[in-house]
Amino acid sequence: MFLHWEVSYKVLRALVPPRLQLDLFEGKAYVSLVAFTMQRIRPRYLPAVRALSDFDEINIRTYIHNNGKPGVYFLSIEAGKILSAKVARALSGLPYQSAVIHREEGRYESVNPSRDFRLHLRYKIGLPKRSKTALDRWLTERYSLYLYHKNVYYYYAIHHLEWDIRELEWSDLEIAYRFGDLELLSVPQICHYSKGVKVLAWDREKLKK
């Protein structure tokens, strides 16, 4: 599930490391909550281990444009397994932490007591998007991930097929995510659903100055 909000550029700018340029759509800044399930995630040449490789995840991301490469930057990432969060954080440097996440058909719920984050979503999968808008593509088709870790800037190159997106119709939504002056408490302006894609990610590289 993708939930998208238009947000204040000034408020968002304060949350993103200064060297990363915010990407805007028609002058507007966006933040998205993406709730999904990882399956069979693994390093190259190593087998997937279900206890680590399969877990539910929620990330809060915004949009970056750096040296001609549009991508995303994570304000937070939550994993539904404590060990998966610890391993992912150690290996990638990404801001993983654990949360209590429950997912079943038509329902996705998460509570993170350490940061007072929560999500309660009941939904139905709607019709396919027969014709994606420019904004649909801008929000979903991103093939770089930017990271600021221990005073160093990095990026990951990512590859996957284009998201096959559908409408997402929600019947019950409670959300509370706060980052400084940025609060995701209201109904999102745009929602998408996808059955998922296979993703490849390459080793991180330092951003050139």
CATH number for the domain harbouring residue 78: 2.40.400.10
Rounded percentage of the chain residues whose pLDDT exceeds 90: 72
- Average pLDDT on 187-195 reads 93
> Could you tell me if residue 93 is left (phi over 0), alpha (psi between -120 and 50 degrees) or otherwise beta?
left
DSSP 112-179: ETTTTEEEEEEEEEEEE-SS--HHHHHHH---EEEEEETTEEEEEEEEEPPP-EEEEEEEEEEEEEEE
- Which residues, at least 6 apart from 94, have a Cβ–Cβ distance to it below 8 Å? 74, 77, 88, 147
Residue 82 belongs to a domain: yes
Rounded percentage of the chain residues whose pLDDT exceeds 70: 94
Give the pLDDT score at 165. Answer: 94
- Average pLDDT on 176-200 reads 92
pLDDT at 130 over 90: no
Residue 174 belongs to a domain: yes
Can you give the residue range of the structural domain that contains 92?
A: 2-203
Residue 208 belongs to a domain: no
pLDDT at 197 over 90: no
Residue 192 belongs to a domain: yes
Cβ pair 151, 196 in contact under 8 A: no
Which tops the pLDDT comparison, 47 or 169?
169
Residue 23 belongs to a domain: yes
Kindly report the pTM of this predicted structure.
0.92
- The domain total for the chain is 1
Residue 209 belongs to a domain: no
The three-point CA angle 68-180-84 to 5° equals 70
Give the pLDDT score at 157. Answer: 92
Give the pLDDT score at 16. Answer: 97
Residue 46 belongs to a domain: yes
pLDDT tens for 55-91 read 899 999 999 998 888 999 999 999 999 988 998 888 8
Cβ pair 21, 66 in contact under 8 A: yes
Residue 53 belongs to a domain: yes
DSSP for residue 22: B
Which tops the pLDDT comparison, 204 or 14?
14
DSSP for residue 89: H
